[in-house]
Structure 1
Amino acid sequence: MDATNMIETAKRGRWAVATAFFVNGFITGSWAPQIPVFLTRLDMSETMLGLLLLLFGAGAIVFMSWCGYLIARHGSRNVVRWFGPAAALGLPIVALAPSLPLAALAMILFGGVIGGMDVAMNANAVAVERRLSRAIMSSSHGFWSLGGFAGGGIGGIIIQSYGHVVHAVLVAVVAAILLAASLRHLIAEERHIATGHRKFSLPKNPVIYLIGIMALFSMVPEGSVLDWAALYLKQELGADIATAGFAFACFAGTMAAVRFMGDAVRNRFGAVTTLRVSALIAASGMLVAGFAPTPWVAIAAFAFCGLGIANMVPIAFSAAGNQPGMSAGAGMSVVTTMGYSGILVAPSAIGFIGQHVGFSPVFISVSALLIVVFLMSGLARHADFAPKAQLAE
């Protein structure tokens, strides 16, 4: 295959993996309006719902950890092709669960296939970056945010008009159609598969775990704003419910918008510089939000924080997938597992702390985590690409 055909193949692969990100976000976003129905349909308490949501997170983390092994043996393209269709079926399985025990099992599987697809599509995005010799990770995550916005935005309307089962089936159909049109265009990265039986093992390079800490500290703020910013504005700053809802909306809006510009910024200034500036922006926004005297100052600060958070996780993921002497799948599995625990696990601890000391000190403390990312940002140097990489694949 000549260089021109390789680039054309990579470009098609770029849009194929972007579609995978959109589908994953669309399914995840579509789950949010299902939650109230899920609660009342199974006649459970909020505490039980919290436990089931924790099972979703546990399933995601377990499958994410396992996915690095699968990607190393079979390639990210094949793993996306396996987990993508399974993820499309996840929401109907949860929506049809008739009892709490079956709902618990459904939540573990749903979280698992969503998490497994997430690791594989991020690893495949790294393969596309290598082939094109330019960053695409930020915009790929932008497509995830766009999918989440679409799924969450129309889900409630469909559920109210046609019911939760029809909604879940429609989500599965839309996801299946998009995946059927795109999965065949995913590119295959160069792999070195060991012969014989290979046991699952974690990477021994300590740098990958430090990058995982960067991803974790970059995603804790996202989970904090998602779960607790509205309550902070309402309880501590006196905002009404409508105003409090703008906290995460503005944060997510600026984050999604910047993700579509983030690759050009990173290609221009480099991963390390982009990460350093992003971490400072995010830390300053979170710090101002913690000290905010009024709800609208806090909302503006959260929006400013979103400008910085947008590119931090994509850069950490690219650095993980490009670590020397390590497969993209192995590095990605570790870093995504550590990073996503910032959204799946950390918010419960933040809620416990916030109920005892208030959320203002929590957001101030979270800004300190972002300063740690600033200090560690030199570890992202392998996220950049040499021009010759385009022909190396």
Structure 2
Amino acid sequence: MPNQDTTQNFVRDGFTWLGYLLIGSSTYTISCFGPFMPFLRSELHLTYTVGALHFSAWAIGVLLAGLSGDKSMQRFGRQKVIWSGSAGICLGILLIIVSRNPIFTIFGALLGGFSGSTMGQTINTILSDRFGSQRAIAITEANIIGSISCFLAPLAVSTSMRYGINWRLALAVPLLTLSILFLTFRKRQVPGSEPKTKSKAAAALPQAYWAYWIVILLNVGCEWSLIFWSADFLEKVVKLPRIDASACVSVFMAAMLLGRICGSRLTRNFDIHTLLPIAAVTALSGFALYWLGNNAILSVIGLFITGLGIANFYPMTLSAAIAVASDRAASATSRMSLGTGSSILVAPLVLGFIADRSSIFVAYGLVAALLATCTVMVFVANSLAQRHEEQIQRLATETSKTSVN
């Protein structure tokens, strides 16, 4: 159905663009990890396991941010959290660039994950407060910038190496970007930047929120499992040459970008509760074709369709979750990081564990199960959200009648 609340003009102010660029810088940083890891492992003589610990450390940082993000916003204010998060990303990058000891590079990844996630939570909270019923447009656009960053990061690493410079030059990009943003915007007041006194009796997040939380938990697990292991699947199961299989991962990323661009337009005219089930069914259908196609063309087409569907799960689900959380947007975005961090940390590892003991084809059955459960949970969450909204309207009506009497 058309979304009446979002048909009005969507106006981006200075902070909107600042938030987009900050999120893009954080996404760019983590997107560099995969491309530069072979070079870092070679320089420091690291095993695959120690190299993988950098990804795990980043995910643990995201998870820890989920435990503390809302408390940091409340205690220090949003402005300080944003710029300290930006500084934390820069410090993490510097540790990775200059350290010759994996202990420090892994700690740099941990610091980057924690700082980037805390900063991202704060930006999403502000965008939600700023745009209200149009928050889905803003959050989706922020994720579009993140998707573009995912493309630019490996290109920057490969270009640096191709011209005989150094992969570290690619990591100078977010350092420079974040520094320029700080110098340009540091004196501009961030909306809702003042610390707030803690409420004595904050309402618990509603059931509908936790249903959407499960949707994001499952969806992020699927997304990162596909990013981590789709090249192996296409090589081992579909029998594509290794170079072609690796190149086909970009098909998934391109679909994610295209899906979010389309999603940004659709959320202007349709309610996200209508769009989410469509995204879920699209992703599930595409994955079935990718997993069971047993043909290079069908599998790649399926991977593309899966990316189109998965692309809008996170921004739309986060928007729906924040909406039912009402005035607890900070807690809502913070708790979401618990789900994303846990999923990024666990899902690809579990899939790899199953693949080692059976096959990558069997392991992908886990992703199928996650996507199927995720699709069911979308309908459950939407139902709970509708019930929650009806309850709020009923209470408002009863309160109005009481005040009149």
TM-score > 0.5, shorter chain as reference: yes
Aligned partners of 1:234, 1:8: CA distance in 2, in Å?
A: 44
Q: Distance in 2 between matches of 1:203 and 1:35?
A: 42
Report the aligned-residue RMSD.
3.0
Cα 1:76–1:284 shift into 2, 3 Å = farther
> What residue is the counterpart of 2:179 in the other structure?
176
Shift of 1:96: 1.1
Question: Under a length normalisation based on structure 2, what TM-score does the superposition of the two structures give?
Answer: 0.83
**Which is further off, 174-183 or 270-279?**
174-183
Q: 1:343 to 1:101 in 2, by over 3 A?
A: closer
What is the aligned counterpart of 1:11 among 13, 28, 43? 13
Work out the CA distance in 1 between the residues paired with 2:46 and 2:373: 40
Within-5 A mapping of 1:370-389? 370-378=371-379, 379=381, 381=385
Contact 2:287 2:302 in 1 (8 A): yes
Q: Secondary structure at the match of 1:323?
A: helix
The structure with the larger Rg is: 2
Deviations 1:76-135 (A, max 9, x none): 444222202321332221121121332332232222222222222222232232185762
User: Are the equivalent residues in 2 in contact too, given 1:211–1:335 (CA < 8 A)?
Assistant: no
Match of 2:317 in 1: 316
Aligned equivalents of 2:288, 2:58: Cα separation in 1: 31
1:255 corresponds in structure 2 to 256
The answer to whether the 8 A contact 2:137-2:264 is kept is yes
| Aligned: 1:58 with 2:60 | yes
Partner of 2:122: 120
Structure 2 counterpart of 1:162, from 157, 165, 185: 165
Q: What is aligned with 1:387?
A: none
**Which residue number corresponds to residue 264 of structure 1?**
265
Matched with 1:97 is 99
* More moved, 123-132 vs 79-88: 123-132
SS in structure 2 of the partner of residue 245 of structure 1: helix
Q: Which amino acid aligns with 2:275?
A: T
CA-CA distance at 1:364 after TM superposition: 4.1
The residue aligned with 1:390 is: none
Check whether the contact 2:233–2:360 (CA below 8 A) recurs between aligned residues: yes
Cα-to-partner distance string for 1:322-346 (whole Å, 9 max, x where unaligned): 3345521111111122024322321
CA distance in 1: counterparts of 2:10 and 2:362, whole angstroms: 51
Counterpart CA distance in 1 for 2:103 and 2:123 is 31
Instruction: Read off the aligned partner of 2:320 and give its amino acid letter.
Output: A
Q: TM-score when scaled to structure 1?
A: 0.85
Q: Tell me the equivalent position of 2:5.
A: none
Q: 1:360 offset after TM fit, Å?
A: 2.6
Equivalent pairs, count: 376
Deviation of 1:28 (Å)? 2.1
**Once the two structures are superposed, what CA deviation does each residue of 1:173-219 show, in whole Å capped at 9, x if it has no partner?**
133224544566675149893359x89x9956444332211101111
Q: What residue ranges of structure 2 are gaps of 5+ in the alignment?
A: 1-8, 390-405
Structure 1 residue runs of 5 or longer lacking an equivalent are 1-6, 385-393
**What are the within-5 Å matches in structure 2 for residues 1-393 of structure 1?**
11-130=13-132, 135-160=137-162, 161-181=164-184, 187-189=190-192, 193-194=196-197, 205-324=206-325, 326-378=327-379, 379=381, 381=385
Deviation at 1:158, TM superposition (A): 1.7
Secondary structure, aligned partner of 2:197: coil
